[in-house]
Amino acid sequence: MPGPPSRGVLVTGASRGIGRAVARAFAERGDRVAVHYAARAADAEETRAELPGEGHVVIGGDLGDPVAAQRIADTAEEALGGVDVLVNNAAVATSEDNAHRVADVSYAEWQQVWRQMVDVNLLGSANVSYCVARHLIDRGAPGRIVHIGSRGAFRGEPDHPAYGASKAALHALGQSLAVALAPHGIAVTSVAPGFTATERVAGRLTGESGDALREQSPFGRVGTPQEVAAAVVYLASAEATWASGTVLDLNGASHLRM
């Protein structure tokens, strides 16, 4: 029996981590994937090389730049023969380097981190969403947009308030677009992962800090990129149209405990 029809899928920030797992999950169901990256070109190429199937491409570009965001969407549209699914995964994630506790940083540092996180995490996602949605509307095609949000939007990010705010805004953007784009057959959703074991955070999972992270969930562990990817593939499916507007928790009930 033939499998599901192949779709064009743009995954931003797919050089590694959650984005790479999402790219792989779509390719495994027969979709053609545009693997986007910002700085890690070799890793993005490795992601693409490991994808099953054919027709996958690699596209670079800084999502903090609105011109680049449009170019990324347009290039993916052309290379894939249409983007049917957009996964807004790229983000300036939290690290000790970009911590901006009110009590610790200067006003100039505070502004710089806010600018970068809002530019990439929120405006970058909003701009690519606009460009992909306009292509879908022009083609008269149904589509899916899935945002990778964060548990931090609900629990707060005291060391990285700009990150938490950008992710809360991303969830809200998804809800607004879900209403606005439904008449065009485009469903928009978000997922809110908790701590997820990606390369970026592997170092934090050892020793006592790792135990503390695992204890955040009553399951006694952290999430995996594959668990996030499986949910994204579901939310991008035809069966999930009625979930449009949702923010799906993927954090092992960890945001429900203090």
Ligand X SMILES: NC(=O)c1ccc[n+]([C@@H]2O[C@H](COP(=O)([O-])OP(=O)(O)OC[C@H]3O[C@@H](n4cnc5c(N)ncnc54)[C@H](OP(=O)(O)O)[C@@H]3O)[C@@H](O)[C@H]2O)c1
User: Least distance in Å: CB of 169 to ligand X?
Assistant: 13
6 vs 225 by CB, closer to ligand X: 225
Annotate 80-95 with b (16+ C-beta within 10 A) or e (fewer). Answer: bebbbbbbbbbbbbbe
List alpha helices for the chain, DSSP H: 17-28, 41-50, 66-80, 107-117, 125-139, 152-155, 161-181, 207-215, 225-235
198 vs 244 by CB, closer to ligand X: 198
Report the side by side order of strands in the sheet with 143-148: 57-60, 32-37, 8-11, 85-88, 143-148, 186-193, 247-250
Q: Hey, what amino acid is at 187? A: A
125 vs 244 by CB, closer to ligand X: 125
List 37, 107, 130, 163, catalytic entry: 163
List of residues contacting ligand X (CB under 6 A) = 13, 15-19, 37-40, 62-64, 89-93, 120, 148, 150, 193, 195-196, 198, 200-201
Residues 23 and 59 sit within 8 Å (Cβ to Cβ): no
User: Least distance in Å: CB of 78 to ligand X?
Assistant: 19
User: Least distance in Å: CB of 38 to ligand X?
Assistant: 3
Q: Residue of minimal CB distance from ligand X?
A: 17
71 vs 184 by CB, closer to ligand X: 71
Residue among 56, 70, 58 at smallest CA distance from 134? 70
User: Least distance in Å: CB of 22 to ligand X?
Assistant: 9
Whether 107 sits among the annotated catalytic residues: the reply is no
As annotated, the active-site residues are: 163
